Amino acid sequence: MFVDIKSLGLVRVGVVAPELKVADVKFNEEKIKAEMRKGEQKGCYFLVFPELCLTSYTCADLFFESTLRRSAEESIKSLTDFSRELKSTCIVGAPISAEGRLYNCAVFISNGKVIGVVPKTFLPNYSEFYEARWFASSRDIPPHLKHIQLCGQTVPFGRDLLFRLDGVPECIVGVEICEDLWAMEPPSCTMACNGASVLVNLSASNELIGKVSYRRELVQSQSSRCMSAYLYSSAAMGESTTDIVFSGHCIIAENGSNLGETSRFELESQMCIRDIDIERLNNERIRSTTYAHQDFTRQFRHLEFTLPPTSVVLLTSGDVKTGSEQGILRKIKATPFVDSTSKERTSEICEEIFKIQTAGLIKRLQHVKSDNIVIGISGGLDSTLALLVCVKAFKRLKKNLKGIHAITMPGLGTTERTKNNAQDLCERLGLSFSTIDIKAAVRQHFSDIGQSESKHDITYENSQARERTQILMDYANKVNGFVIGTGDLSELCLGWCTYNGDHMSNYGVNSSIPKTLVIYLVRWCAEVEYGEQHENGDQRQVGTILRDICDTPVSPELLPAASDGTIAQVTEDTVGPYILHDFFIFNILRYHFSPRKVFLLALQAFAFANESNQTTAFPPAIILKWLEKFYWRFFTQQFKRSCLPDGVKVGTIAISPRGDWRMPSDAMANCWIREVEAVRKEFNILNASM
């Protein structure tokens, strides 16, 4: 399946640390051309090279030599002609003279033209740096000097230049050079305030102990502060080592995330290519009122450049994975809510989540001055996570765990497995535990309203859910406590809860935890909090129970069990795989992507099964089927979210009407469903049976 990544709001960019020699301009030019050719072969027509890369940064007083400067201009002309052949764009560093001053410049070359030249503003002149000896700052440009003559062209010149990609109006490039980023007020901040979504830095940053981490954090931080992509290219080992060493450390960051970087201290040229998401950056800015309130007083000249299409193969389930079919060059996580980069990072995040959840519950306990809470325990994932949060909160407050009143309420579809897990878990944790069988009460209710028990419809299911909520609420009155809600973010987005049943509580601790993260947290507790290393046998047994709960199919258990006593009603058979829905939730609610983009990203994310993060491979028809189902459910079920109980926000997504998400309950999904249908036709995808 082929697609032009620009139709997804993506632009392929690269940063390069080319092999070079000091003052050997022709050698450096040829190495730059070789890297441009490599970039073209990988579908990357936009490359950023280091500061003064045509001459090398460490020429020192050779910058005074007209021969060196003339050679640089000849190479700029040669690169300009070469860019026409490749239809590509490159930004290279070179010394440029104008009206008796020499400037350290970034030369923006595109498709056979020099589009503009941006001089450096902040010139380091301390420690090992002596730039003010050779160069003038952009602040020293005479007011009348808006253009210069370069390579037979009249070229815009100045620090007030921004470069707009033709056909992608939100892709605006701002350029700064090395020390500009390290200044207290980098020029890129002003550029970003004036629309620049891609910031590039041509650098010659030498290596010192510890500097690599600081540089990486600085680039990522600037990309976050400016809500932009930040492309940082730095000089490599070919620079002079008379006094200092360079490593060729290049970085591509996007809104605080490190998309990729090059190896350091390599003998050969290094290149890092990634697809940056211009649409995501634009959506972030639109959503942020802080960005809208920035000062736009400085005026910029906008210059247009072009890039050819970059078509990529989007791998789908069943394809053979090969090195030549790279697909989208950015990591698309199938489980975006789960960070499993390392065991240490996993543990840190899980602890943080529990701290946020317990902090919210602690405040509520203190406010209502209660020593008692009531929670319905089903032996399923959500109620288990909520129960673990309750235990942590009570332990922190040094309250008696008997104040946690856990009630299991077996109904018409409850299996022995979940019932026993619920009871064993509560007893081994030392809580107050009760079993209240609801079957007789539900049958009486069926009789009252004339509902046949053999008719397994929505009334059959909801009657049980509402009976359980009635018990919990009344029991909370009895013990002078309040009810803890257990529903998670995924269920709330899908409306997979009974209105005024499990939809209702006094405080919901899981309301912004998606299902994939619920499973992750419970499994983490089983291994870390209640693992085999625990001295207390009951606590070790808790870990065993938690693992079995994680392995139990997700089900509300409202329909009768199978003939062998196992769960017959599997939630994902009805609403779809939660791993898919959580992917949809993240990309729709966090980034506000269109159905087409969500679908195509999902193709890439779910092309292959991955046992390490429990990713399943899904074919296009299945992905599109459940995406359509998601939109339908999300829109039709908003009325349930409009009156959610209080619940703490944990991650970047929450759907409380008092917090992140405001939506009319009677909004129509037609626009989104029509786009799903258009995608089905565009890629000739047959309907999968619902």
Q: Could you list the active site residues?
A: 51, 120, 178
Q: What is the DSSP string of 564-601?
A: TSS----HHHHH--HHHHHHHHIIIIIT---HHHHHHH
| H-helix segments, 157-277 | 179-182, 187-193, 211-225
User: Cα(20)–Cα(31) distance, rounded to whole angstroms?
Assistant: 7
Q: What is the pLDDT averaged over residues 17-38?
A: 98
Q: Is 104 a residue whose pLDDT tops 60?
A: yes
In this prediction, residue 319 carries a pLDDT of 65
- Percentage with pLDDT > 90 across the chain: 88
Q: What is the pLDDT averaged over residues 530-539?
A: 75
- Sign of the torsion formed by the C-alpha atoms of 469, 475, 477 and 483: negative
Q: Is 561 a residue whose pLDDT tops 80?
A: yes
Question: Pseudo-torsion of CA 65, 70, 72, 74, nearest 10°?
Answer: -160
The set of residues, in sequence order, having a beta carbon less than 8 Å from that of 335 and lying 6+ positions away, is 516, 579, 582, 583, 613, 614, 615
pLDDT digits (tens, 9 = 90+) for 120-171: 999 999 999 999 999 999 999 999 999 999 999 999 999 999 999 999 999 9
pLDDT digits (tens, 9 = 90+) for 176-217: 999 999 999 999 999 999 999 999 999 999 999 999 999 999
In this prediction, residue 323 carries a pLDDT of 42
φ and ψ of 199, to 5 deg: -110, 130
- Sign of the torsion formed by the C-alpha atoms of 32, 37, 38 and 42: positive
Judge contact between 487 and 515, C-beta under 8 A.
no
Q: What is the 3-state secondary structure (H, E, C) of 218-229?
A: HHHHHHHHCCCE
| Environment class of 651 (CB within 10 Å of its CB; exposed 0-12, middle 13-18, buried 19+) | middle
Return the domain boundaries, the chain: 2-310, 343-682
Task: Identify the CATH assignment for 343-682 out of 1.10.150.240, 3.30.1490.20, 3.40.50.620, 3.50.50.60.
Answer: 3.40.50.620
pLDDT digits (tens, 9 = 90+) for 276-327: 999 999 999 999 988 888 776 678 999 999 999 998 888 777 665 544 446 8
Higher pLDDT, 530 or 645: 645
In this prediction, residue 55 carries a pLDDT of 98
pLDDT digits (tens, 9 = 90+) for 355-396: 999 999 999 999 999 999 999 999 999 999 999 999 999 999
In this prediction, residue 608 carries a pLDDT of 79
pLDDT digits (tens, 9 = 90+) for 620-639: 999 999 999 999 999 999 99
Q: What is the pLDDT averaged over residues 447-451?
A: 97
In this prediction, residue 494 carries a pLDDT of 97
Sheet hosting strand 161-165, strand order edge to edge:
257-261, 251-254, 229-234, 198-203, 172-177, 161-165, 301-305
pLDDT digits (tens, 9 = 90+) for 215-269: 999 999 999 999 999 999 999 999 999 999 999 999 999 999 999 999 999 999 9
Judge contact between 456 and 574, C-beta under 8 A.
no
Q: What is the pLDDT averaged over residues 78-104?
A: 97
Architecture of the domain whose range is 2-310: 4-Layer Sandwich (3.60)
